[in-house]
Amino acid sequence: MNRHTKTRTLNDRPIIGILAQHTVDGLSKVAKTYVASTYVKYLESAGSRVTAIRLYLTESEYEKTFYSINGILLPGGAVDLQMSEFARVAGIFYRLAKEACDQGDYFPIWGTCLGHQLLMTLTAGENLLSRTDSENVALPLVFTDATKSCKMFKDFPAEMMRVLSDKPLTGNFHRYSLTLQAFEGNEKLRSFYRLISTNTDRQGVTFVSTIEAFRYPIYGTQWHPEANRYFWKESLEAPHCPLGVRVSYLLAEFFVNEARRNFHHFEKKEEEESALIDQHMPKFLGDKSSFRSVYLFDLLGD
């Protein structure tokens, strides 16, 4: 199946899917899955529409969705990176994206935090994460020489790159990381990903913080770029300064622009409209959640 087209230079009406996540704590009594509003706002702010990629569907249904949307974001969360439904569905889109790109059909993937870790696991074929002391801390990025040839920061102003290196503008909220040692010791990862930046946790352990694939439009950050604009819980180390907000927007713009290079589309206007997350109302959680509000799916009792 291949319904992409190249009659236009860019797609001015991109739709990016956000993979739904398993609910935890009190929300698990209400619904099985959710999409955090932060990711929706993040993508919409840069000119994309959004659809939720629901869990528990068939592979053929995900293939139909793949050829209807223009990219996918794998969000943060806390699930098994190999055995969960979240991992299964992400693996399907990861495979379809690589196959499509090999045929000239450009389909971008972005992984944030857990999504970043899942990309590493899918590529390596095993979970190589280690426990790190990296929860709720803002850090400056330690860029590698490979940054000079990366796409992710290519259009960032030089001053912004300097600030990213000097100031703690990236919010980290993870308990596990892929250490630099694990990355460098795995040939599959080294040959697939350009290592853009690292960070060091409170105990001095260096971990991978930003990557992008060499051959494919696949990107990952262990940190949360959306947090700078949309994490408002006061206990969280989410830098809301003007520079932090600017970093967040520039990365959202980058990924949405990547999605503009894809021309997948829904077969009917009615299908497109019904798939958009606009059809759903977010549930406000306030400080009970880092996300403040979420879209709930697979409601219990339905």
Residue with the two structure tokens 């770029």: 225
Q: What strand order describes the sheet that includes 293-299?
A: 21-22, 31-36, 293-299, 283-284
* Under 8 Å between Cβ of 53 and 111: no
One-letter amino acid of 48: S
Cα(170)–Cα(238) distance, integer angstroms: 7
Q: How far apart are CA 218 and CA 105, in angstroms?
A: 13
Residues linked to residue 206 through DSSP beta bridges, in sequence order = 200
204: exposed, middle or buried (Cβ count in 10 Å: 0-12, 13-18, 19+)? exposed
Are 22 and 77 spatial neighbours (Cβ–Cβ below 8 Å)? yes
Active site residues: 113, 224
The three-state secondary structure class of 176 is strand
